[in-house]
Chains A and B, each alone.
Chain A
Amino acid sequence: MTDLTEQFRERILAASSDAPLCIRGGGSKDFYGNEPRGELLETRAHTGVLAYEPTELVITMRAGTPLAEIEATLAENGQCLAFEPPRFGADSTIGGVVSAGLSGPRRVSAGAVRDFVLGAKILDGAARELNFGGQVMKNVAGYDVSRVMAGSLGTLGLFLELSLKVLPRPVAEATLRFEMAQADALDKLNQWSAQPLPLVASAWQDGMLSVRLGGARAAIAAAEKMLGGEKVGVGEVQCPAAGTASFWDGLRDQRANYFAGATPLWRLSVPSVAPVIDLPGATLIEWGGAQRWLRSTASTEELRAAAEKVGGSATLYRADTALKAASGVFAPLPAPLLDLHRRLKQTFDPHGIFNPGRMYKEL
């Protein structure tokens, strides 16, 4: 339990647009977003769970608290972060989790990081301590700034504390497998998702569709009967510690073989009903068809156009510095939207000291 607020404040006051800050938690997501620049401001010593009562379904902690510690605390009480943030290393902090806004396999059923953010205490670009949201489930007082900060890659402010909604772990889980071509898998996933089935996650790769069921035992048993397929996981749900190599953890933590290698990795976020995206490269599909990973050397233009054509967007998730610099990691924003982004950035970080360029070069 250490409170470094005063040190952070001094660093912010000493920073300027010529000497900006690079906010960093555990550094496990340095690969994500455009090239980090600025003087390192490390938050991982700013730690401590400040409030956690399981029956309130809320946990409040300092931003540098390790994700592993939080998950262990929750697991002791049969609870979890339902959006399953990827664990890229033991150093991963909750501030980094929320700043990056990345969610795991269960995102499609449980919701994304932003759906679980209830409140945040931040330091803005003028080193003012600001509290948004709160520690309760429902709160519409003031604009929902804490949710906006989820996924903003530290460009709007420095997280001091976060309050997140937590949920009980599902009582039971099971995994079913089906040999299936991509187009059929997309069809089936959408059809199943439109029915009241306890479908919590899915993955398709190389002609094999895996479907994860979660919830009450009876509901899982009924769904198994209805869906068929080959059953591979049985029994009580486990929340394995980082390092356990279960199939879904491999996907969640991106340790599965698919994620290894040097070919650029693109993440296409598209409507689940979008047809097969016909580009060269290995494909992995999650989120019932809504998240399509592509390891591809196709050009940035081709990938962005393919995603846009079906109403989605393409992010250059992992690539070498040169390609990231040339392409920009995130799909460009239309001018009026970019304009709003600039003005919001100006409001919270008027001197442009927080993670400049990490999301867009204009921010």
Chain B
Amino acid sequence: MTAALIPPADQDDTRRAILLARLQSLLPAGGLLSEPEEIKPYECDGLTAYRCLPWCVALPDREEQVVAALRVCHDLKIPVVVRGAGTGLSGGATPVAAGVVLSLARFMRIIEIDPLARLARVQPGVRNIAISEAAAQFGLYYAPDPSSQIACTIGGNVAENSGGVHCLKYGLTVHNILKLRVALIDGEVIEIGSHALDSPGYDLLALLIGSEGMLGVVLEATVKLTPRPTVAQVVMASFDDVTQAGNAVAAIIAAGIIPAGLEMMDKPATAAVEAFVHAGYDLSAAAILLAESDGTEQEVAEEIAAMCQVLETSGARGLRVSQSDDERLRFWAGRKAAFPAVGRLTPDYLCMDGTIPRKHIAHVLTRIEELAQKHRLRVANVFHAGDGNLHPLIMFDASRDDELDRATALGADILALSVEVGGTITGEHGVGLEKVQQMCLQFSFDELTAFQGVKAAFDPLGLLNPGKAVPQPRHCSEYRLTGSGRHT
């Protein structure tokens, strides 16, 4: 497929010139970037280890322009990589050489908020947090809250099926989207889902959400808004070892409690964030847990008391309950700033994203430490403990000897470990470019072939975000020969 998309070099200049001329004629002034210094900022997303300069960046500001630009690319068989804010951590928006980056950053309008129907219709470039800010006057908010929510866009959230720290109770993006207006690669515009709770036919919303920009381009999203709970409170518990902390997570669930948020940080992560935000974390603890309750005042009081009891019984050596909203936000500030806080300690880091059955938390954290020693690197772990979604942050310095290679190898080992204990290589960041090879560990030849079939149903020429998320099944045989794949 890739070979067919890249013509001999002497034809390249002509094709590029034709593409630029046609895009220029349909995009607004300043809406086409093609000079190296202009397109440089688009060479990577949040996964900065992968960079590539595209032929051009298109910045349409009206839906017709998006559709027309897609038609041009379809016509010329030129690949398209759609981009929101570029905060993705798996290289899902890494450009393709000899391709177009289609930025939807200018689609920043909240079209409608219907407080009675509890929904918002927004353009794809609207930032996640902007929806909650706009809905706040009605006592409503948009529940999924990825750490990057001040910057990331709803279009990107749809592409990645983004989560956040409140998923266990409020769900992922897939649980909070009612309807999408989507352009297919040939310029056909379809609407899937509706403002009703279900629609006839296959659940194409579930297919589009998390499809990493491979199936269609989101033109508009209708999101579900949730009533803001009256109060929220968080308990911070410190533990002397990670096994105890892991067991405490299970004990909370066993007590019939679904906390609004349930997060864990290990010692290196706590140290990193405490130096950054001064939240008052217990620096000597092997692990700390943050457990949030939200709802009515009485409900929260009951649940916090119940959680404190469970945490104490589980061996927590210290408990602190937030006494004000300021304090609650300070407790969370550290967790939410974990990535930049670790970023201050190291020139580079890789953020991994495996999900595991919760019961394996302690085993997996111990194994990660052993693997880190083997690769001579340091790892800090932050963990959406309620969901079993682990974010090991691998610290390295790309300018030193083979550290990038070792970091990548350690990351691959951690993902293999996630699959080995019955989990997955990505909980919420997507496969992108980063984990495309690890897909071979998790899926068989037949399963990958089925994914290719789904892709072809939407995009027969393979022009949308080629090379991401789903590997060619035949490329896996080679990877499996050298890797530790389950399918041999």
Q: Do A and B bind each other?
A: yes
Of A23-31, A212-220, A256-264, A293-301, the one touching chain B = A212-220
When C-beta atoms are compared, the residue in chain A nearest to B446 turns out to be A128
A148 CB contact (under 8 Å) in B203, B228, B298, B442: B203
A-binding segment of B11-19, B170-178, B234-242: B170-178
Given contacts A128-B446, A219-B295, A273-B114, contact A139 B424 (CB under 8 A): yes
CB pair B298–A219 under 8 Å, yes or no, is yes
Which of B140, B192, B196, B423 has the most chain A CB atoms inside 10 A of its CB?
B196
Q: Is A145 an interface residue (CB 8 A)?
A: yes
> Chain A 176-205 against B: per-residue CB contact (8 Å), 1 yes, 0 no?
000000000000001101111110000000
Question: CA of A134 to CA of B302 in the docked complex: distance in angstroms?
Answer: 34
Contact of B117 among A151, A190, A195, A315 (CB under 8 A): A190
Q: Are B190 and A287 within 8 A (Cβ)?
A: no
Which residues on A sit within 8 Å (CB–CB) of B450?
124, 128, 130, 145, 347-348
Interface presence of B243 (CB below 8 A):
no
Contact (Cβ within 8 A) A137 B168:
yes
Question: Residue B347 at the A interface, CB < 8 A?
Answer: no
Q: Are B115 and A194 in contact (CB under 8 A)?
A: yes
B220 is an interface residue with CB less than 8 A from chain A: no
Contact of B202 with A344 in the complex, beta carbons under 8 Å: yes
A131 contacts partner chain B, Cβ-Cβ < 8 Å: yes
Q: Which of the segments B78-86, B425-433, B475-483 contacts the partner chain? A: B425-433
Stretch of A50-58, A84-92, A242-250 at the chain-chain interface? A50-58
Set of chain A residues within 8 Å of B456, measured between Cβ atoms: 343, 347
Contacts of A347 in B (CB 8 A): 450, 453-454, 456-457
Whether the pair A216, B447 counts as a contact (CB closer than 8 A) is: no
Q: How far is the CA of A107 from the CA of B203 in the complex (A)?
A: 16
Whether B356 contacts A136 by the Cβ 8 Å rule is yes
Say yes or no: B442 contacts A55, CB within 8 Å.
no
Cross-chain contact A191 with B447 (CB below 8 angstroms)? no
CB distance from B295 to the nearest CB of A (A): 6
Asked whether any CB of chain A lies closer than 8 Å to the CB of B161, the reply is yes
A-B interface contact total, Cβ < 8 Å? 265
Interface centre among B229, B426, B457 (most CB of A within 10 A): B457
C-alpha spacing A145/B470, complex, angstroms: 13
* A235: interface (CB < 8 Å): no
Does B296 touch A at the CB level, under 8 Å? yes
Indicate the size class of the contact surface on chain A: 35 or more
CB pair A136–B357 under 8 Å, yes or no, is yes
* Given known contacts A54-B253, A137-B355, A313-B194, A143 and B454 CB-to-CB distance under 8 angstroms: yes
B4 contacts the other chain (CB 8 A) = no
Give B457-488 as 1s and 0s: 1 = Cβ < 8 Å from A's Cβ atoms. Answer: 11000000000011000000000000000000
A343's partner among B161, B175, B250, B457 (CB-CB below 8 A) is B457
B204 touches A148 (CB 8 A): yes
Closest to B116 in A: A190
Q: List chain B residues, Cβ under 8 A from A208.
A: none
State the majority secondary structure of interface residues on B: loop
Interface residues of B, count at CB 8 A: 93
Complex contacts, B161 vs chain A, CB 8 Å: 140, 144
Which of B32-40, B382-390, B400-408 contacts its partner? B382-390
0/1 string, A127-159, CB within 8 A of B gives 1: 011111011111111111101101110001000
Given A57-B253, A218-B296, the answer on whether A341 and B227 have CB atoms closer than 8 Å is no
Which one of A6-14, A35-43, A111-119, A277-285 is at the B interface?
A111-119
B427, A138: Cβ atoms closer than 8 Å? yes
Residues of A within 8 A of B439 (CB): 141-142
Query: Complex Cα distance A169/B357, Å?
Result: 21
Q: Which of A66-74, A317-325, A326-334 contacts B (4 or more CB under 8 A)?
A: A326-334
State how many angstroms separate the Cβ of B334 from the closest Cβ of chain A.
22
Nearest-neighbour CB distance to chain B for A236, whole angstroms, equals 12
B358 within 8 A of A: yes
Q: Is B217 an interface residue (CB 8 A)?
A: no
Contact between A311 and B442, CB atoms less than 8 A apart: no
Residues 219-230 of chain A, each 1 if its beta carbon lies under 8 Å from chain B, else 0: 101110000000
| Closest beta carbon of chain B to A155's beta carbon, Å | 8
| A56-B197 in contact (CB<8A) | no
Question: CA of A136 to CA of B194 in the docked complex: distance in angstroms?
Answer: 28
Q: Are B202 and A215 in contact (CB under 8 A)?
A: no
**Inside 8 A of B276's CB, which chain A residues have their CB?**
none
B363 interface residue (CB < 8 Å to A): no
The answer to whether B256 and A194 touch across the interface, beta carbons within 8 angstroms, is: no
Contact check, B443 vs A142: say whether CB atoms are below 8 A apart: yes
Cα A287 to Cα B195 with chains together (Å): 13
Q: What residue in chain B is nearest A107 (Cβ atoms)? A: B197
A144 to B173, CA, bound (A): 13
> Is the CB–CB distance between B201 and A330 below 8 Å?
yes
Of B114, B140, B168, B207, which one neighbours A143 at CB under 8 angstroms?
A: B207
Interface contact B428-A140, CB-CB below 8 Å: yes
**Cα(A337)–Cα(B142), bound, Å:** 28
A138 with B163: in contact, given A55-B253, A147-B203, A269-B199 (CB under 8 Å)? yes
Residues of B within 8 A of A333 (CB): 200-201
Say whether B196 contacts A269, CB under 8 Å.
Answer: yes
How many angstroms from the CA of A315 to the CA of B198 in the assembled complex? 11
In the complex the two chains form, is A140's CB within 8 Å of B160's CB? yes
Among the listed A138, A147, A168, A219, which residue makes an inter-chain contact with B206, where contact means beta carbons less than 8 Å apart? A147
Residues of the A chain whose Cβ atoms lie less than 8 Å from the Cβ of B280: none
- A55, B199: Cβ atoms closer than 8 Å: no
Extra contacts, 15 of them, besides A101-B198, A171-B256, A218-B301 (Cβ < 8 A), are: A128-B446, A130-B444, A143-B451, A145-B454, A148-B202, A150-B206, A168-B253, A193-B227, A198-B295, A222-B298, A269-B199, A271-B194, A273-B117, A330-B201, A338-B201
- 19 pairs from A and B in contact (CB 8 Å cutoff): A53-B357, A107-B197, A137-B387, A138-B163, A141-B425, A141-B442, A143-B455, A147-B207, A148-B202, A194-B138, A198-B299, A216-B296, A218-B299, A271-B194, A271-B195, A290-B196, A290-B197, A312-B196, A346-B453
10 closest A-B pairs by beta carbon, nearest first, are: A218-B298, A347-B453, A147-B206, A343-B457, A138-B427, A168-B256, A55-B250, A271-B195, A219-B299, A216-B299
Please list the residues of chain A having a beta carbon within 8 angstroms of any beta carbon in chain B. 53-58, 78, 101, 107-108, 111-112, 114-115, 124, 128-132, 134-145, 147-148, 150-152, 156, 167-169, 171, 190-191, 193-198, 215-219, 221-223, 269-273, 287, 290-291, 311-313, 315, 330-331, 333-334, 336-338, 340-341, 343-344, 346-348, 359-360
